[in-house]
Structure 1
Amino acid sequence: MKLNLLFLFIFYSTILAAQEVRLTKGDITGTITTTDGNSAQGVTVKLKELKKTALAGPGGKFELKNLPFGKYTLEVVMVGFDGLTETVEISPENPLVHLELQLNYSSQKLDEVIISTGGNRFAKKESDDVSKMPLKNMENAQVYSIVSKELMKEQVVTDYNSAFKNVPGAGIAEVRNQGRTTSMSRGFPTPQLVRNGVGSFTYNTIDPANLERIEVIKGPSATLFGSTISSFGGLFNRVTKKPFDSFKGEISYSAASWDLNRLTADINTPLNAEKTVLFRINTALHSERSFQDAGFNKSYLIAPSFSYKVNDRLTLMLDVELGGAKGTSPTRLSPYISKDLAKPAKATSIKDMGIPYDLSFANNTVNYTGQQYNIFAQAKYKISEAWNSQTIISRTRSSSEGYTVALTALTDSTLRQAVTNQESPFYGTDIQQNFIGDFKIGQMRNRVVTGFDFYSLRATRNDATVNMPAINYRKPGAAYNNFNIAKVAPLFNSATFLNFVSNNERTYSAYVSDVLNVTDQLLVMGGVRVDRYINKGSYYANRDSTVGNFNQTAISPRFGLVYQLVKEKLAVFGNYMNGFNNVSGSDFNGNTFKPNQANQFEGGVKLDLNKISATLSYYDIKVSNMTRPDLEHTEGSFLIQDGTQLSKGFEAEIIANPVPGLNIVAGYTYNNSKYAKASVDVEGLRPATAGSPTTANIWVSYRIISGAAQGLGVGIGGIYGSEYNQINTHTFKFSIPSYTVLDASVFYDQPRFRIGMKIDNLTNEKYWSYRLAAQNPTKVTGNVTFKF
């Protein structure tokens, strides 16, 4: 009996003690952002009375736990800048205090804070463009990746395509004529058509000098962005640098192998004492030759941007990019395919061809010039506490004039050069009106975007093509020198030039999307878009006739679900997303073709802790309404619209900061694509355009964050792509081998200067793009940057 009484006494004493702790202690949590809308990662939060500190992690989130009840002074401290203070009281009535703090500083200054504290430098995933509304990564049912300017600086990136080494699944860029690029996303070629969240195609070389970050949005995204600027695999959004409210600038020079000379400048300043008018300009001069015997690229960029805060409600912005380039066209090689099945081609891979790696089969006198402008004007207006208006006008012009070259293998040992003399301008307009709301209906929070979009693209072509004599590509001899402008130009005197309107299309769209907080941890997303597509066809002036004009209407829904198992730290998600692609023509019976439809189902996990951020997902994409040859009506080359393509896969991305100063960015993708119902020669096979089934990327860097060597760092990483077929039919396959490319860098970063050196392709790997363009051997780049 005494033992039982003793046990009961101890038991109830323990419960009372636990209740006492619970009733006398509480927590402070919060999120810190900047006035330009970015999360304030790396900022120190101090509790003055208890001398406790916390470091804001990804998303600007911080925690101070098990604090005795009472009043406290919370100090937000940034190295080298004035901070802010907040008075907080924890009481029995309010034991859990959550703060939303905003610093009157831009993300530009916060970069220095993260560097000095050794925080997770590359985990900045907040974006207003991905969902066309402010939405945190942990609240978003869609998968996306970010390549920040900080990562590009650390890797001494001097060309746009090198930044995509950090994108899971992107592979080696396919560089087309005029320098425009296409990368892979979930087994689909994806061009560069989006800038600051709206259509702003670039058919010329893109210079990275004006990039704040690259946002890679995964999966069919037609609901919010439309089909004309996204692929079934996703889209790439180039976010440009914007003005901020203090004077700051840097001038940078890079030099590298093959006579690279690159000079850039980034200068920002307020234009009035009130700091309501802001100005920033980025410029670049770039000159580089190929590692091969011929080939070069010279370009310039001028990118001014203005911001004017008219009043507390209205802010205007004008963002401009003006650029030009001159160079030789990128390599484009078509392998030999024998028409005689009894004598198939001997070469079934680019290695088998035996084409010399360092020969271009080009000539520097056979070149082209390109021009590009992008104009982005935006008006943001605060209608009320719950609603904001965003009006955007984007205008684009891309053009090229001169000579481009294509190589075609004619036999197992010969090829010929086909030269096109062209004049080809593209004109684009995107006008978009968005209304963005954040309000509650009952206890449920709604974040809504509804918008209207007008997009047009018009292009003309005036070109002719001539073929040069065949040469032995294994041992070209003296014939190799016969390819130059003096020999090529006269051939166009008798060539037939074709002058026509190649693109003339418009799209009128309306869309709505809502993210609903059913509870603090359960979020449901739904949206729909209606597109009216008008293609006026190709107009041939010499015949006064139009070919291929048609109109189509498409509806694109999307749904998503996020459940945060641990609020703002661990979430499971699922989504259904739709994309479509307009298709011209009709079948044998005269039925007009419908748009292709891509439907994606995806599920996965997102993790967002101070030390690690990760996304793991599995997706299943089915493309229907694809056209294929009509085997019952072969006499007229008719098509039938019942084809299907499948794309399934797994993606993983990890961004980690396990110890101060150490940062890791890694990705892995596996993609299984195939034609489930298609032309008999490809049915059941992987599309040749789907790229490597397996890819991986990693970048590991360490920076000393204290002591005499503070700012000194090293980085190492690489990319891998498995073998795939550039031609993949049941009768002939032509493969591109797997590749593993390793890079390394060393840098010394200080408040007033930065010195860096990068070695690309440490092992001198030979590897090729989809267009069979040989990629750079070992390349050494040095950089020095002066900051002020």
Structure 2
Amino acid sequence: MKYSTVKTYRFLFTISFLFSVFCSFAQQNFGKIKGTITTSDGDAAAGVNVILKSSKYGTTTNDDGTFELNRVKANTYTLQISLTGYETTEQEVVVAESETSAITLQLKVSNKELHEVVVNGKKSILSKKTDYVARMPLKNLENPQVYSVIQKELLQEQIAVDIRSAVINAPGVTTKIYPSGGLEISFRGFSTGVNARNGMENMTGRSSISIDNAERIEVLKGPSGTLFGSSVSSFGGVVNLVTKKPFEGKKTEVSYTGGSFGLNRLALDINTPLTPDNKVLFRLNTSVNTEKSFLDYGFNKTFLIAPSLVYKATDKLTLSVDTEIYNVNNTRPTYGRSYAPGITNPTDLQIDYRKSLFHDDLDAKTSSTKVFVQAEYQLAKNWKSTTLYSFIDENVDRSYQYYTKWTSPTEVLRSVSRFGPISNQFTNIQENINGEFATGTIKHKLLVGVNYRFSKGTFNYGATPVLDTINVTKPFEPIRKKQVDAALSQLTWPVPDEQIFSVYASDVISFTDRLSAMLSLRLDNFVQKDLVDVPGYNQTALSPKLGLVYEVIKNQVSLFGNYMNGFQNSGPVNQPDGSLLVLKPVYANQYEGGVKVEAFNKKLSTTLSYYNITIDNATRTTPDGYSVQDGKQVSKGLDFEFIANPIEGFNAVLGYAYNDNRIVKSSDASIEGNKASGAPENVVNFWLSYKFQNILKDFGLGFGSNYVDKQYKFEDESFYAPSYSVYNATVFYEQPTWRLGVKFNNITNKEYWDSYGMAQTPANVLVNLTLKF
């Protein structure tokens, strides 16, 4: 029996060996062609037809613009690439035995068919191609971090007129407007703003931000201090706005949106080369917006102008300038500071849903100027230098902000604060070196960077005492500017200069074509300058990041795990004995694991992960008003994203997030174990759309919803915003040169509130007409 078995093994081994030898000899007469194709604006070109003329060989490019032709007979061929709306390109390619020929090509826009590019050349809403998340070219399946990418094509379909309605397409994301006017975005139990723009710092705390220059929005999940630092990331993650870039070819797009509550919005997008050789490219995005509030008082007026320029100085050096001026004149939302016992949520209050307690002559006027400059230089074949400079000047001329204290469901105390003039200036200089190399059979993708940040500002503030107490069930007058100005006491607060010097490095090590590890580290030195009566401080933080990825099915399914770190700098604080306690940076540490799938020829993309974020050294305030550093908070949960394009014209976006964010340790024993404020347990989003392909061709429908669980306003869980579901729908008709769409928001006319307890917009309609030249 044993002898027979040995003979069988020998026979199988011999057959296997001979088969391998035969195959190796058989393949010696063949070569391979691999390539990458990009569009004229530098994006990956998906679905491009690639053929070798006068042969049987042909294929199409993947979502990332790559293609591969295997078992090609050694010969000289003419490679032809074609895509509707672009010029057909041909290039000679030589295929040698047992060798791979590498091709890189860029499509050129056909002026004759340029209008078709706008429709047929759209980027898939499944695409997660980005160089900003990891600050290096890393595919989604290779990246151990969870992130979502919201493409402008989805925003156009939804007729999104602000960033707030755009970001809720990412799983777990909720939003609200700060009393100061900036946009607050929450996920994984923590809040942030749109604090990154093309990977660089983008402060918008008081001046808000426009959607009209957005190419896409990237939501990075988890503490991201290692690559972005404390001024950009929160413990929940980072929101990065990617702006529209100039590209080869001429295109003009004019868009008008009108709607409920007096909305009138006009946007213009012009792209054109400035030289015949396409070495200098220019793009201008501009918009103007006016609208009234759904309340009986309130308004919002904005103006944006955002020119950008790309100069291809040499084959190796490309310079780009991205600028923006954004002016806002509007009214702020009302913030409830306290509620009498027995008032547990906004439905207990007896005020009419559409009634304002304050007049809209108590307005806010802000402006922001932003300049971003980039120089990209190809050092060698696999090495690149990127030098970046940014300057942000954020100014508040005035900002009247409204506050209430509810003493009963019918009685409220009203007061107002006036902020401004305020100025904040942020300067960033950054240098990144990216490279690829190998140590034996192990491949490396390396990033080494250095960043210097400097900020300064001025701050003026005034506040009124309680102006009056009213019964909201009886007739009352809104508070007016004249009454507020007469009661204001103005103060000027000194603002210390700050500077941060950072160095960081990240190495993605590919042990095999399926197994890789990411090792990252950042060192931050934070310095706050002395003021007359306030000592400055100098603090250093070290932030590591580790990740592991294994592709179970190559280019389709990957398992990943990560350890990520975020930090916040904290200044020294006084103690009861008169001493000064030097606080350490507050650290948040995340452990996460999950699976990513990109399958069915890139028609499905999904991510599922579980995470745990722990803050062991949170700063808390003792009952006698002093700060100590021994608090603890734990945020854990589940993230799920599903995006699919199963058939031509049909798109599905689905997100679900579960989060349990609790105060584990606090000086106030009564809140230990309570949920953190503004952290809903369950958040669901979905959007389905279909553009008819045959009957009713070019006509389309869309439908979606957002569900948000109960959210506590305070950590004592005394007041909460109830859970809600909001449903939206759209119908549209699209042609190559124009598009008409109608959007129905909150179609059930749901009355609901954000986590601050601020009433949100009831049912409304938007009508959009876009012309493309």
TM-score by length of 1: 0.89
Q: 1:274-673 counterparts in 2 under 5 A?
A: 274-337=277-340, 345-412=341-408, 413-423=410-420, 424-472=422-470, 474-477=472-475, 479-481=476-478, 483-492=479-488, 495=489, 497-536=490-529, 539=531, 545-547=532-534, 549-586=536-573, 590-609=580-599, 610-630=602-622, 637-673=625-661
1:665–1:468 CA distance, 2 compared to 1 (3 A): same
Partner residue in 2 for 1:182: 184
1:682 aligns with 2:671: yes
Partner residue in 2 for 1:764: 749
Partner residue in 1 for 2:6: none
Q: Tell me the CA shift for residue 15 of structure 1.
A: 12
Task: String of CA shifts for 1:291-346, please: whole Å, max 9, x gaps.
Answer: 11011011100101111111112111111100111111123223414xxxxxxx12
1:719 aligns with 2:719: no
Partner residue in 2 for 1:754: 739
Q: Tell me the CA shift for residue 52 of structure 1.
A: 7.3
Q: Is the 8 A contact 1:39 1:124 kept in 2?
A: no
Q: Is the 8 A contact 2:618 2:629 kept in 1?
A: yes
1:170 aligns with 2:166: no
Q: Tell me the CA shift for residue 501 of structure 1.
A: 2.1
Q: Is the 8 A contact 1:114 1:121 kept in 2?
A: no
Residues of 2 paired with 1:385 and 1:754: CA distance?
Answer: 43
Partner residue in 2 for 1:342: none
Partner residue in 1 for 2:4: none
1:503–1:757 CA distance, 2 compared to 1 (3 A): farther
Q: Tell me the CA shift for residue 491 of structure 1.
A: 2.4
Q: 1:36-47 counterparts in 2 under 5 A?
A: 36-46=41-51
Residues of 1 paired with 2:115 and 2:516: CA distance?
Answer: 31
**Greater mean alpha carbon deviation, residues 747-756 or residues 99-108:** 99-108
CA RMSD, 1 decimal: 3.0
Q: Tell me the CA shift for residue 645 of structure 1.
A: 0.9
Paired amino acid for 1:464:
G
Say which SS state the counterpart of residue 258 (structure 1) adopts.
helix
Paired amino acid for 2:261:
W
Residues of 2 paired with 1:738 and 1:67: CA distance?
Answer: 60
1:628–1:740 CA distance, 2 compared to 1 (3 A): same
Q: Tell me the CA shift for residue 472 of structure 1.
A: 3.6
Say which SS state the counterpart of residue 184 (structure 1) adopts.
strand
**Greater mean alpha carbon deviation, residues 106-115 or residues 124-133:** 106-115
Q: Tell me the CA shift for residue 726 of structure 1.
A: 1.4
Q: Is the 8 A contact 2:87 2:109 kept in 1?
A: no
1:770–1:458 CA distance, 2 compared to 1 (3 A): farther
Q: Is the 8 A contact 1:245 1:275 kept in 2?
A: yes
Q: Is the 8 A contact 1:403 1:419 kept in 2?
A: no
Q: Tell me the CA shift for residue 431 of structure 1.
A: 1.1
Partner residue in 2 for 1:341: none
Q: Tell me the CA shift for residue 377 of structure 1.
A: 0.9
Q: Tell me the CA shift for residue 757 of structure 1.
A: 1.1
Partner residue in 2 for 1:699: 687
Residues of 1 paired with 2:618 and 2:15: CA distance?
Answer: 73
Paired amino acid for 1:582:
N
Q: Tell me the CA shift for residue 422 of structure 1.
A: 2.5
Q: Is the 8 A contact 2:562 2:592 kept in 1?
A: yes
Q: Tell me the CA shift for residue 402 of structure 1.
A: 2.5
TM-score by length of 2: 0.90
Residues of 2 paired with 1:616 and 1:107: CA distance?
Answer: 41
Task: String of CA shifts for 1:87-127, please: whole Å, max 9, x gaps.
Answer: 67889846xx685543234899999569548x872022111
Residue number among 267, 270, 274 corresponding to 1:271 in the alignment: 274
Q: Tell me the CA shift for residue 405 of structure 1.
A: 2.6
Task: String of CA shifts for 1:336-364, please: whole Å, max 9, x gaps.
Answer: 14xxxxxxx12111112233211121212
How many percent identity over aligned positions? 37
Paired amino acid for 2:367:
Q
1:738 aligns with 2:738: no
Say which SS state the counterpart of residue 646 (structure 2) adopts.
coil
Q: Tell me the CA shift for residue 459 of structure 1.
A: 2.5
Residue number among 84, 87, 92 corresponding to 2:89 in the alignment: 84
Say which SS state the counterpart of residue 380 (structure 2) adopts.
coil
Say which SS state the counterpart of residue 288 (structure 2) adopts.
strand
**Greater mean alpha carbon deviation, residues 56-65 or residues 225-234:** 56-65
Partner residue in 2 for 1:32: 37
How many residues of Structure 1 are paired with residues of Structure 2 in the alignment?
749
1:251 aligns with 2:235: no
Q: Is the 8 A contact 1:120 1:611 kept in 2?
A: no
1:625–1:224 CA distance, 2 compared to 1 (3 A): same
Residues of 2 paired with 1:698 and 1:336: CA distance?
Answer: 34
Paired amino acid for 1:196:
N
Say which SS state the counterpart of residue 332 (structure 1) adopts.
strand
Task: String of CA shifts for 1:735-766, please: whole Å, max 9, x gaps.
Answer: 21111111111122222111111111111111
Say which SS state the counterpart of residue 541 (structure 2) adopts.
strand
Say which SS state the counterpart of residue 686 (structure 1) adopts.
coil
1:115–1:304 CA distance, 2 compared to 1 (3 A): closer
Q: 1:161-240 counterparts in 2 under 5 A?
A: 161-171=164-174, 173-202=175-204, 203-240=206-243
Q: Is the 8 A contact 1:392 1:432 kept in 2?
A: yes
**Greater mean alpha carbon deviation, residues 410-419 or residues 640-649:** 410-419
Task: String of CA shifts for 1:500-537, please: whole Å, max 9, x gaps.
Answer: 22353211111111111111111111111111101226
Say which SS state the counterpart of residue 153 (structure 1) adopts.
helix
Task: String of CA shifts for 1:394-450, please: whole Å, max 9, x gaps.
Answer: 111112223423232231122233222221111111111111112223232221111
Q: Is the 8 A contact 1:34 1:107 kept in 2?
A: no
Residues of 2 paired with 1:53 and 1:740: CA distance?
Answer: 49
Residues of 2 paired with 1:170 and 1:383: CA distance?
Answer: 40
Q: Tell me the CA shift for residue 626 of structure 1.
A: 1.0
Partner residue in 2 for 1:340: none
Q: Tell me the CA shift for residue 198 of structure 1.
A: 1.0
Residues of 2 paired with 1:45 and 1:704: CA distance?
Answer: 28
Q: Is the 8 A contact 1:331 1:772 kept in 2?
A: no
Paired amino acid for 1:407:
Y
Task: String of CA shifts for 1:633-673, please: whole Å, max 9, x gaps.
Answer: x65x3332121111111101111111111111111111111
Q: Tell me the CA shift for residue 629 of structure 1.
A: 4.0
Say which SS state the counterpart of residue 688 (structure 1) adopts.
coil
1:241–1:578 CA distance, 2 compared to 1 (3 A): same
Q: 1:92-107 counterparts in 2 under 5 A?
A: 93=98, 101-105=104-108
Task: String of CA shifts for 1:137-175, please: whole Å, max 9, x gaps.
Answer: 12211111111111111111111211012111111x221
Q: Tell me the CA shift for residue 66 of structure 1.
A: 8.6
Q: Is the 8 A contact 1:219 1:232 kept in 2?
A: yes
Partner residue in 2 for 1:542: none
Say which SS state the counterpart of residue 488 (structure 1) adopts.
helix
Residues of 2 paired with 1:617 and 1:29: CA distance?
Answer: 33
